[in-house]
Amino acid sequence: MASETEQRAMRRALTLAAGALGRTSPNPVVGAVVLDRSGAIVGEGRHEAYGGPHAEIEALRVAGERAVGGTAVVSLEPCDHTGRTGPCSEALLAAEVARVVYAVDDPTGVGGAGHLRSAGVDVESGVLREEAERVNEAWLTAVRLGRPHVHLKLATSLDGRVAAADGTSRWITGARSRADVHRLRHEVDAVLVGTGTALADDPALTVRDLPDGAEPDHQPLRVLLGRRDLPANSRLFDGQAETVLMRQHTPASALDELYGRGVRSVLVEGGPTVAAAFVAAGLVDRVSVYVAPVLLGAGPTALADAGIETIADALRLHPDDVSVLGEDVRISARVGGEVDREDEGRGEEA
């Protein structure tokens, strides 16, 4: 069983991994921490970008000879294959670590746990697995389903409107919510909107104002879905990031094309018609809703007709984060999680 020291090291490895979200596709984000014989941290690393050294290699490089007889703590099972870099399993053996602790099994089938065990290394898996899967949620979904992970973002009034009756929508939510959306953009490979939203709002869809004030080190691919034409001076054509036009695509075919481009995570930012199309197609994996304490009473709703006609057909979500951002509330939820049915059947009187 993993010690408290190893669990703390794993939390550090997860923090390291999360810092590279948006830069490693089609690879996963991975963090690694090396402990010496006494349990002190002597090396840290993460997979910074596709084609670069893996997390274990970076951490072992920092640790040097202090890794001998120590423990490598890694957020994902060390690889056992040669691609752009050599097998991490061989690097760990060459460093003479005595123990390897990792969180999530590699679903691609090229993990090196078996190799390490056969060489006499003590290997423990599943440490902080749930937290690690959340960090690598997009990549794991892409590997398992063969398409990009889809994160649907909605920003609404308290009564579920995304714009007023006259179509105005800037700004329903506050500055902290908008900064948090820039964080989401920074963590994904692509941001997608429909042509209706692009015409109404003229969004740039670039990363600009991160919550911590840091400067963005990359920009996601901008994807425009729909058949309507945009003016030449649209901000989506400002050259600040690459823009892809998908005029004849369904949500499924759009995801197929993006997957072929190496995209493993997509943030769908609307509008209601595009959001409903992805929901109706069963292609949403996570939903984040930013709710502002505003009542509009009329105007378009956050989701258009998604083909849901009865409560039994409702898309069930499993919330795993509720946060207050200024005066707004952000609810983030996985799709398809277990739903509390304790009050089912009690009706409106409950």
Do 108 and 155 belong to one domain? no
Specify whether the CB–CB gap between 302 and 163 falls below 8 A: no
Give the separation between CA 204 and CA 260, rounded to whole angstroms: 24
Interacting residues of 245 by C-beta distance below 8 A, sequence separation 6+ = 224
The residue among 113, 137, 161 that closes a domain is: 137
SS3 175: helix
Residue 344 lies in a domain: no
Do 131 and 192 belong to one domain? no
Do 71 and 167 belong to one domain? no
Give the separation between CA 41 and CA 256, rounded to whole angstroms: 42
Do 180 and 320 belong to one domain? yes
User: In the sheet where 286-291 sits, what is the strand order?
Assistant: 243-246, 221-225, 190-194, 265-268, 149-156, 286-291, 328-335, 317-325
Residue 153 lies in a domain: yes
Do 152 and 128 belong to one domain? no
The residue among 137, 172, 195 that closes a domain is: 137
Do 168 and 201 belong to one domain? yes
Residue 349 lies in a domain: no
Per-residue tokens: 51: 């084609």
Do 27 and 176 belong to one domain? no
Give the separation between CA 277 and CA 91, rounded to whole angstroms: 46
Give the separation between CA 35 and CA 56, rounded to whole angstroms: 12
**How far apart, in Å, are the Cα atoms of 280 and each of 23, 115, 309, 339?**
30, 44, 11, 20
Contacts 24+ apart (CB under 8 A), 1-4: 1/124, 2/101, 2/124, 2/127, 3/39
Place of tokens 């590279």: 20
Quote the number of domains for the chain: 2
DSSP of 50-112: TTS--HHHHHHHHHGGGGTT-EEEEEEPPB-S-SSS--HHHHHHHTT-SEEEEEE--TTS-B-
Q: Which of 72, 68, 40 is nearest to 59 (CA)?
A: 72
The pLDDT, as a whole number, for residue 349 is 35
The pLDDT, as a whole number, for residue 299 is 87
Do 91 and 224 belong to one domain? no
Domain that holds residue 179: 146-335
The pLDDT, as a whole number, for residue 214 is 77
Do 9 and 49 belong to one domain? yes
Give the separation between CA 225 and CA 192, rounded to whole angstroms: 7
Do 13 and 111 belong to one domain? yes
Q: What is the mean pLDDT of each run of 10 residues along the chain (350 residues)?
A: 95 96 93 97 95 94 97 96 82 96 94 95 96 96 96 94 80 90 95 90 88 83 92 90 92 96 94 93 96 91 89 90 96 73 37
CA count, 13 A, side-chain hemisphere, 182? 20
Give the separation between CA 87 and CA 57, rounded to whole angstroms: 9
Kindly report the pTM of this predicted structure.
0.89
Give me the CATH number covering residue 121: 3.40.140.10
Do 205 and 234 belong to one domain? yes
Give me the CATH number covering residue 183: 3.40.430.10
Do 35 and 156 belong to one domain? no
68-81 per-residue burial string, b: 16 or more CB within 10 A, e: under 16: eebbbbbbbbbbbe
Q: Is 56 a catalytic residue?
A: yes
SS3 30: coil
What spatial distance separates the first Cα and last Cα of the chain, rounded to whole Å?
A: 45
Q: Which amino acid is at 53?
A: P
Catalytic residue among 56, 58, 77, 187: 56
The pLDDT, as a whole number, for residue 339 is 43
Give the separation between CA 313 and CA 39, rounded to whole angstroms: 51
Specify whether the CB–CB gap between 112 and 89 falls below 8 A: yes
The residue among 98, 114, 137 that closes a domain is: 137
